[in-house]
Amino acid sequence: MTKKVFVTGAKGLIGKETLQPLLSKGYEVYALTTGNLPSSTQIHWIQGNLFDHKAINSILAEIKPTHLLHLAWQTTGMFNDNINFDFLIASIELLKSFKQHGGKKVVMAGTYIEYAENNALLKEYTSPLEPQHIYGKCKNTLREIAELFCLNNEMDFAWGRIFSAFGLEKDLRRLTGDVMNSLQNDKPVEIRSGSLIRDYIYSKDVANAFVEILDSDKNGIFNISTGKATSITDYVLTIARLMNKEHLVIFNEQVSNQYKFVVGNNSRIVNEIGWQQKYTIEQALEEIIAQGKEKTNVKLQ
């Protein structure tokens, strides 16, 4: 049977990195975007808006995808915005249409923000859940509804909780993009919460994890994490060192209301899916910095 996957958020930080791995797994890839359609002989790009339920239903009626990889969500700076409710509703409508047109397996993106604050490694089925923002609450609500819907309709369902993903950033409200952009322009960078501990994972590793989950016969919740603790201070200093701009980083530690320690136990995705992290933080940042230089050079020519 032909494997057809419908991907939302296909131009996003993680979505764009799933496309080639999906092709290599033998999927016909149908990628949704609200922007201009890229030229591609391999990817079937579709222009559409996730919030237009009728249009999405018509698209799925024509494609009849066997798999759904739902990554689309607006997050940065929007943790308590009403748009989260729109994404929740649109995601449920998408799921219903996918089932109506013969879908078999659903994989959706969750977030570590679903968990309660905890100074131990976060584990999928034992660590308590207590999202602090509307974003996290809507994500967790979607997981509960989607899991129940798929169980009731005999569809496979998996949920990937993404930890601190980073990549070649367009949004300067995100830490990596902001730091790199400032340093590239020889501007000082002030870090106010350097002692916070995070589980940094490269967007390409996240993407590969989602593809491996989608292509497996496993269901349920998976932490998409490295299991390694890194302070924001060490992360930013690694960027600065690789760019030879350490002198521009200023640390001004202040009290933060963010989680102090967020690191995920990844034993389930490693042992049951066979996923392995391919990039260290330094290797990933070296690649991102090189890609950024290439794009800058192209613009200057």
Residue 300 has pLDDT above 50, yes or no: no
Contact 80, 133 (CB under 8 A): yes
**Which pLDDT value is given to residue 37?**
87
Over residues 1-28, the mean pLDDT reads 96
**pLDDT score of 295:** 58
CB atoms within 10 A of CB 30: 20
CA angle 270, 275, 279 (to 5 degrees): 110
CA 133 to chain centre: 18
User: Rounded to whole angstroms, how far apart are CA atoms 239 and 76?
Assistant: 21
pLDDT of residue 292: 75
Measured CA to CA, the distance from residue 120 to residue 263 in angstroms comes to: 8
User: Measured between alpha carbons, how far is residue 18 from residues 12, 47, 284 in Å?
Assistant: 10, 18, 16
pLDDT for 16-66, tens place per residue? 999 999 999 999 999 999 988 888 889 999 999 999 999 999 999 999 999
CA dihedral (277, 279, 285, 287) in degrees, to 10, reads -130
pLDDT tens-digit series, residues 166-187? 998 777 788 999 999 999 999 9
Q: What are the boundaries of each domain within the chain?
A: 4-166+200-228+262-280
Confidence of residue 294 (pLDDT cuts 50, 70, 90): low
Confidence at residue 298, expressed as pLDDT on a 0 to 100 scale: 35
pLDDT at position 301? 30
Report yes or no: 160 and 210 within 8 Å, Cβ to Cβ: yes
State the burial class of residue 42 (Cβ atoms within 10 Å of its Cβ: 0-12, 13-18, 19+): exposed
Confidence check: pLDDT of 12 > 80 = yes
Pick the closest to residue 16 from 40, 50, 48 (CA basis).
Answer: 40
Does the pLDDT of residue 299 top 50, yes or no?
no
Q: Looking at residue 223, what is its pLDDT?
A: 98
* Range in 86-95, 137-146, 235-244, 285-294 with the lowest mean pLDDT: 285-294
Which residue would you say has higher pLDDT here, 292 or 253?
A: 253
For domain 4-166+200-228+262-280, the CATH class is alpha beta
For the stretch 214-228, pLDDT in tens is 999 999 999 999 999
> Which position has the token pair 């009731």?
152
Token digits of residue 214: 């989608």
**219: which residues sit within 8 A by CB, 6+ positions away?**
156, 157, 158
31: left (phi over 0), alpha (psi -120 to 50) or beta: beta
